[in-house]
Structure 1
Amino acid sequence: MSVDSTGTVAVEDLEAHRAALTGYCYRLLGSAADTDDAVQETLIRAYRKIDSYDSVRAKLTTWLHKIATNVCIDMLRGASKRALATDLGPAADGSDLGAPLPSDRFVEPMPDARLFGVTDPADRVVARETVRLAFIAALQRLSAQQRAALVLRDVLRFSARECAEILDTTEASVNSALQRARTALAAKPVEPADLVDPADDDQQELLRSYVAAFEAHDVTRLATLLRDDATSSMPPFAWWLHGASRITEAMAASDACAGDRLLPTAINGSVGFGQYRPDDDGVLRPFALLLLELRDNRVAHIVTFLGSGDRFAEFGLPERVDSRPER
């Protein structure tokens, strides 16, 4: 860090924390757009206050996370609590999607490229668990203070003293908020998922089979790749399905995905795809982001983010695909 003898911080040192702040704000807010706004506002405030930063009193990362926390808590006042479709009501028993809900009701996906800055494999495993879509949704059930305390202490590993400084409170209050947050999460634990491992041949074969079956609209083959208790949802609709038989019945009843193609990406530490759909000229255009979670080498959760085609560039996906791959 470029700190001179007077303790002055260079502007580029603030920018170096953008990725870490992005991961922090996203866990608190559950929204990609809000995260961008929060991180930008944090850095703007830090720029304006840079002369007042005292390296003797606090580490730069502590100071920045304090600013970010205040920004996020301000944004959360009066905001809807974001969730997954599976949190909003019982599974559907039919194909009627109903009316779409406002976008601020749902947790939004984030590309791995914007969430991970760690290089140690063990740290990366832990980081993946704490950006899983289900974990982000679980955090949204907590109060803003509890959410911040849990992320700061259990995810980012700030000390109780540092956390108290960030939250402008006492260590006792931090510990109390942390305990309440842990208790709330334990009351409805996040279901486990398999770690994405490019070196796992069985897992990679499962994913290749899923893509091939999806692109061929081979519902019979898809049925063999799903867990019996698999779920499928399509934000911004509250509609969701439970069970492999329900999911495959819905897919068999419509040929809307026939001709679509999947290109791989990485979303929230999980398997991701960009789903492309042919336009009137046969050119494959961005349609939706698709997230899969695996368990016991079967597909356990499918989330199709409808209306997300304008975000493909964020996920390293092209704007168009001219032809289907040779098989």
Structure 2
Amino acid sequence: MTDTALTPPASAHLPRPADLEQYRRELTGYCYRMLGSSTEAEDVVQEVLLRAWQALPDFQGRSSLRTWLYRIATNRCIDHLRQRPRRALPMDLGPASTVHDRFGDPTPAHGWVEPMPDGRVVPDDADPATRAVVRETLRLALIAALQVLPPKQRAVLILREVLGWPALDVAELLDTSVPAVNSALQRARATLADRELDAGDLYTPSDDEQRRLLDRYLDAFERYDLDAFEELLHEDATQSMPPWDFWIQGRDQVRAWMEGPGAGCRGSKLRLVAANGMPAVAQWRADPEGGHSPWALHVLTIRDGEVAGIESFLETDRWFPLFDLPAEPA
């Protein structure tokens, strides 16, 4: 698509800037699924709303305001995706390491799928079923899987399967035909099926059993009771630590990490937050001189009532401000 697609359709009733702002959260979710980057998604949405605001005087309404905004957003996302390699999680790049392996050099930030705060993308005023669907389609494993799709297949899958758009509307947005949309959707589904995606159990903050599991997780970690902590882990639990491509697998490996290289986490303070429709834990590590400093944002995958994945995002100078987390624990 070219920027001629940005020429707004017209309307007898000129929208106001506030009419654009109401779409910020859902556009952020769409762009995040497309890009795999919370920071890029927010930048793109800001650009989309600015461009739309500047073009409002010419708006004529040949399609809905929402469709017009998604058209601009799709163009901008595809432009971004042409300029950089796909994002991934460490597990997508090679076999598991062990606690004895060297870390090596960190991979540049543009290489990783990034965490996204629920508050930036999950609607406050939606019914519980809608909120559950939004959370389910934001899980890290799914976001990483989407990144293997070509950009237009990715857009088709998100618009059709996640957002529920009719094939005709998607075809019009992408300047293509309904058969082409259906073909792209079939190819995208086949690609994801080949990956045998397991995103874990759906996180439900009101679920008492999940809440008890998370309370026990926080308690065991803060007390650094590794026996209690290990009991909460799935036998095949994984842990990764972007920006390094290092990752480990197995309950015993995660415990060995915490006993060895990760022992500096003893004495940490934790807070439960929400990221990617999943439970997440902000960690402040104890300073030798006293007090605590931001150390990691851990996004957790729960499976069968156990913690099956710990994605530890270590660049807290990026993630703590994004999640509105303070420099020191309360």
TM range (shorter): over 0.9
Percentage identity across paired residues of the two chains: 46
CA distance in 2, matches of 1:5, 1:212: 57
| CA displacement at 1:262 relative to structure 2 | 0.8
Structure 1 residue identity aligned to 2:63: A
Matched-pair contact (CA < 8 Å) for 2:140–2:199: no
Counterpart of 1:103 in structure 2 is 109
Q: Secondary structure at the match of 2:264?
A: coil
Query: Stretches of 4+ moved more than 3 A in 1?
Result: none
Instruction: Tell me, yes or no, if structure 1 residue 43 matches structure 2 residue 49.
Output: yes
Q: Where do 1:226-241 residues align within 5 Å?
A: 226-241=233-248
Q: Where do 1:53-68 residues align within 5 Å?
A: 53-55=59-61, 57-68=62-73
Matched-pair contact (CA < 8 Å) for 2:299–2:311: yes
Counterpart of 1:293 in structure 2 is 301
CA distance in 1, matches of 2:188, 2:298: 30
Q: Where do 1:127-276 residues align within 5 Å?
A: 127-254=134-261, 255-276=263-284
| CA displacement at 1:199 relative to structure 2 | 3.4
| CA displacement at 1:5 relative to structure 2 | 8.0
Structure 1 residue identity aligned to 2:296: A
Q: Secondary structure at the match of 1:153?
A: helix
Matched-pair contact (CA < 8 Å) for 1:286–1:310: no
CA distance in 1, matches of 2:44, 2:196: 28
| CA displacement at 1:42 relative to structure 2 | 0.8
1:214-250 Cα deviation digits (max 9, x unpaired): 1122222211110101110000111101110111111
Structure 1 residue identity aligned to 2:127: D
Q: Secondary structure at the match of 2:248?
A: strand
Matched-pair contact (CA < 8 Å) for 1:287–1:309: no
CA distance in 2, matches of 1:199, 1:65: 32
CA distance in 1, matches of 2:173, 2:288: 54
Equivalent in 59, 67, 81 of residue 76 of structure 1: 81
1:131-179 Cα deviation digits (max 9, x unpaired): 0011100000000000000001111111112111211212221111111
Counterpart of 2:7 in structure 1 is none
Compute the TM-score of the two structures, normalised by the length of structure 2. 0.92
| CA displacement at 1:280 relative to structure 2 | 4.5
Unaligned runs of 5+ in 2: 1-9
Unaligned runs of 5+ in 1: 323-327
CA distance in 1, matches of 2:234, 2:287: 33
Q: Where do 1:302-317 residues align within 5 Å?
A: 302-317=310-325
Q: Where do 1:10-29 residues align within 5 Å?
A: 10-29=16-35
Q: Where do 1:273-284 residues align within 5 Å?
A: 273-284=281-292
CA distance in 1, matches of 2:45, 2:298: 26
CA distance in 2, matches of 1:271, 1:282: 28
Equivalent in 31, 38, 43 of residue 32 of structure 1: 38
CA distance in 2, matches of 1:60, 1:40: 16
Matched-pair contact (CA < 8 Å) for 2:139–2:199: no
CA distance in 2, matches of 1:309, 1:219: 28
Deviates more, 1:215-224 or 1:141-150: 215-224
CA distance in 1, matches of 2:20, 2:172: 19
Matched-pair contact (CA < 8 Å) for 2:240–2:248: yes
CA distance in 2, matches of 1:79, 1:162: 28
Matched-pair contact (CA < 8 Å) for 1:111–1:315: yes
Compute the TM-score of the two structures, normalised by the length of structure 1. 0.93
Q: Secondary structure at the match of 2:265?
A: coil
Q: Secondary structure at the match of 1:66?
A: helix
CA distance in 1, matches of 2:134, 2:205: 17
Change (3 A) 1:20 1:197: closer
Matched-pair contact (CA < 8 Å) for 2:241–2:311: yes
Structure 1 residue identity aligned to 2:86: K
The number of residues matched between the two structures is 318
Deviates more, 1:272-281 or 1:234-243: 272-281
The alignment yields a C-alpha RMSD, in angstroms, of: 1.7
Matched-pair contact (CA < 8 Å) for 2:142–2:199: no
CA distance in 1, matches of 2:175, 2:152: 11
Matched-pair contact (CA < 8 Å) for 1:263–1:274: yes
Matched-pair contact (CA < 8 Å) for 1:263–1:317: no
1:249-270 Cα deviation digits (max 9, x unpaired): 1111132101111111101000
Counterpart of 1:52 in structure 2 is 58
